[in-house]
Structure 1
Amino acid sequence: MFDFANSGYTTVVITAIFNAYFVAVVAGNQEWGTFAWTAALAVSYALIMLTGPALGAYADAYAAKKRLLLLTTIGCVIFTAMLSLVGPGDLWLAVVLIILTNFFFGCGENLIAAFLPELAQGEALGKVSGWGWSLGYVGGLVSLGCSLAYVTWAQGEGMQAAQFVPITMLITAGLFVVSSVPTFLYLKERALPQAHLAGRSVVREAFSRLGETFSHMQDYRDLGRFLACLVFYQAGIQAVITLAAIYAQQVMGFSTSDTMLLVLVVNITAAAGAFAFGNLQDRMGHIPTIALTLVGWIIMVLVAWMADSSAMFWLAANIAGICLGASQSAGRALVGYFSPRPRRAEFFGLWGLAVKLSSILGPVTYGLVSWISRGDHRLAMLITGIYFVIGLMILMGVDVQRGRRAALQGEAIPEG
């Protein structure tokens, strides 16, 4: 249900509406607008990278995942609602609010992922992760569908984007609040507080545990290798997620409602992809499943780059949808499979670190290329597609059985 709740934020704010609004209205369609959008997100992801692993270490030590999840949810909801204050030319207000709201969202994303191994046994991680991602895309559909209904009505009344986009931010924040209630009512914190390091403050203890994790990373070399793989392929995914609406409007000439309809349909294919590949992953294997989705991503980039009609772009977008749900669900499940029980939140903090690094790398690469090339979004799309190729090459060196043995050995080592 939390996947359902928080997916409205990424769908409406990051993927479908506010990103294109930022470039076209807030930045006035300036050539630097796309780069400014990606730079704002990069700052928020850098802040998450600095705090995420230590936050996970603290959550493990004090069994505080649920309490911290509540705080991050409140922060994300408040600042998402405040995006409704952003109008034409309010560049710095938009930048500050996006940094804050995306920071709280990303921290919450790390924390909710750390619950996964508590809710599913090792061989069922892919299935349960797939259920979560699948339901998440349904949540994205609900938020986007409500927003699309309002935008369609507003456009019929002659309103402009500066009038109707702010209301969609309030709709998204409200649905986030309502949909997250079941999580905080029924989800249990099954972890137990762990032995603390005597004489150390909370912050010093968290960083001490994090330092210990990094010092033992050689014992989890397949986890480390997969995290490196994830940085690259997620860089491509994050570029697509954060810039899809911008590409659709700037290159293909889509209107706001056209773009919202496209993303709405893509959420359906993404939900189907997450559900189908989640079940396939447990039978086919983690690595073949992820490899298959990366091949799909490479095909999608080539189709989008060559697209000279809306039909071709619709095809590319739906290929992306199928691969999106599958690759993200499979990646989260594999990290859980490689994580020793006493350090689950901490290791998912490292997963979040990798995802956030990719969230800087991919979109900023796209933004820089589009700026330097004076708005050549096709070239930017093609270049960011290289990240999928690099990820596929690194993936071939990951040994799932060896990585799982390392996780089980880590569970047998007493904490101290």
Structure 2
Amino acid sequence: MTTNAGNGAATAARPLSETPTKTSTKQVLAWGLWDWGSASFNAVITTFVFTVYLTSDAFGEEAAVSAQLGWALGAAGLLIAILAPVTGQRSDSSGRRKFWLAVNTYIVVGITAAMFFVEPDPSFLWLGLLLVAAGNIFFEFAGVNYNAMLAQVSTPKTIGRVSGIGWGLGYLGGIVLLLIVYFGLIQPDVGIFGITGDDGMDIRVTVLISAIWFGLFALPVLLFVPEYKGVGARRDKVGFFASYPRLFGDIKKLWNESRQTVYFLIASAVFRDGLAGVFTFGGVLAAGWFGFSPGEVIIFAIAANVVAGISTITVGLLDDKLGAKPVIMASLIGLVLAGLAVFFLHDGGAIMFWIFGLALCLFVGPAQSASRSFLARLIPAGREGEVFGLYATTGRAVSFLAPTAFAIFITIGGEQYWGILGIILVILIGLLLLIPVQAKQKQLA
């Protein structure tokens, strides 16, 4: 059984005495600062700086290198799907959720720091790809435990607000760090400590700063949020192979009791991977095909985070009035149309990417946020934690789709911008799977 499935069962079943009666501001802030710190990996490593550096002409022909990045991340997604049940089961049944958060977080910190040794030369490409793939794997494992701790720092009445605080701190942390590295290292000819762009040193020092950033801001949650000791910590521990029958048993039970929830888990797993692909490959496309300099990519990244943050908060108000499904549908349709515009107007230069790239960011946040609230309305009473665990699990199980589709379409078209179609296809499939899902449960015989 995967981490979140186990965590969820524990959360749903734990007695009232183990449920927080009030929200601790100190613990919420400590928990949210992990999200602030983790923005260093999302924004700097996988989206706007290191992967852009890795797919530059210093490492080879851009289309070929971009495809290799897609294959590497696709392979990482497969490993996440295979290994997630084991990591989740161990952290739940051992009652060492925070311990495994610490272990996986600082493995990511170490991997990020090791990216400093990736010099701008084709012979270092596979080292860079290996580190990015490995970093993604352990970052996902860390996120499993981090997300599971949400129930420990919130009450049933504040869980949405607390989750939003963490999400918001993540966007804000990404903006602040990108501003620091842009003005301190990448934009000036000679940055802090006399660092220049020679031998890729500005980017390589940026990844070191990112590692330190994540390592420091991950400490508060480890120091101020207690270890989990709920019912899940007393669940029998099983081995690698036995974890899968347990997972399938949980899914079968949910299928019998809440079929619409299962339909939504499948649909959302697909379109959420497409949403992740928008950010993962957005910076790569901006630099590779649309000719953005490293500094321009970071400026775009800052704008993208601002747009995504504002739209998520604003559209969240419509969620309660219109319902979550219309918000998700409209967002996914907007993503498909904006993505197609980027593809067909690829010869329009940077201005086209600015317009339609930011349009993509406009729709990503609302789709993610409304997806969570839609599921919350579907879940049978008393099964919230378990189902949100499966929500995360199913998302990771298909996390290879967007990177693989990106790589396949580049291979088919022979140009980097063709990868856009791969991401759009994944989003479109998720949209089609979502259409028949009902916002209320059908009564099963």
Query: Is TM > 0.5 for Structure 1 vs Structure 2?
Result: yes
Tell me the residue number matched to 1:316.
356
Q: Is 1:236 the equivalent of 2:274?
A: yes
Distance in structure 1 (CA, Å) of the matches to 2:152 and 2:258: 20
Write the letter of the residue equivalent to 2:430.
G
SS across alignment from 2:290: coil
Tell me the residue number matched to 2:409.
369
Question: How many angstroms does 1:36 deviate by?
Answer: 0.8
Q: Taking every aligned residue pair, what percent have the same amino acid on both sides?
A: 25
Distance 1:56 1:197, change over 3 A: closer
User: Mind listing any 5+ residue stretches in structure 2 that lack a counterpart?
Assistant: 1-31
Tell me the residue number matched to 1:397.
436
User: Mind listing any 5+ residue stretches in structure 1 that lack a counterpart?
Assistant: 407-416
Question: How many angstroms does 1:171 deviate by?
Answer: 0.9
Question: How many angstroms does 1:263 deviate by?
Answer: 0.8
Question: How many angstroms does 1:136 deviate by?
Answer: 0.8
Question: How many angstroms does 1:158 deviate by?
Answer: 5.3
Tell me the residue number matched to 2:134.
100
Distance in structure 2 (CA, Å) of the matches to 1:344 and 1:70: 26
Q: Is 1:270 the equivalent of 2:292?
A: no
Tell me the residue number matched to 1:291.
329
* 1:66-102 alpha-carbon deviations (Å, 9 max, x no partner): 2221111111111111111111221222122122211
Distance 1:374 1:338, change over 3 A: same
Tell me the residue number matched to 1:410.
none
Q: Is 1:359 the equivalent of 2:399?
A: yes
Question: How many angstroms does 1:224 deviate by?
Answer: 1.9
Q: Is 1:91 the equivalent of 2:125?
A: yes
| Match of residue 293, structure 2, among 248, 252, 255 | 255
Q: Give yes or no for contact 2:56–2:288 (8 Å, CA) kept in 1.
A: no
* 1:310-366 alpha-carbon deviations (Å, 9 max, x no partner): 333212122222222222233344455656798767644533343334431112212
Q: Is 1:214 the equivalent of 2:251?
A: yes
Distance in structure 2 (CA, Å) of the matches to 1:336 and 1:80: 35
Distance 1:248 1:196, change over 3 A: same
SS across alignment from 1:14: helix
Distance in structure 1 (CA, Å) of the matches to 2:169 and 2:321: 21
| Match of residue 328, structure 1, among 344, 368, 377 | 368
| Match of residue 110, structure 1, among 144, 147, 150 | 144
* 1:113-132 alpha-carbon deviations (Å, 9 max, x no partner): 22334555667655443332
Question: How many angstroms does 1:10 deviate by?
Answer: 0.8
Question: How many angstroms does 1:20 deviate by?
Answer: 1.5
Distance in structure 1 (CA, Å) of the matches to 2:285 and 2:391: 28
Tell me the residue number matched to 1:387.
426
- Give the TM-score taking structure 2 as reference length: 0.81
* 1:254-286 alpha-carbon deviations (Å, 9 max, x no partner): 111111110111111112123223444344432
Q: Give yes or no for contact 2:273–2:426 (8 Å, CA) kept in 1.
A: yes
Tell me the residue number matched to 2:74.
42
Write the letter of the residue equivalent to 2:262.
G
SS across alignment from 1:32: helix
| Match of residue 131, structure 1, among 165, 168, 173 | 165
Provide the aligned C-alpha RMSD in A: 3.0
Q: Give yes or no for contact 1:8–1:140 (8 Å, CA) kept in 2.
A: yes
Question: How many angstroms does 1:189 deviate by?
Answer: 4.6
Q: Give yes or no for contact 2:335–2:360 (8 Å, CA) kept in 1.
A: yes
SS across alignment from 1:216: helix
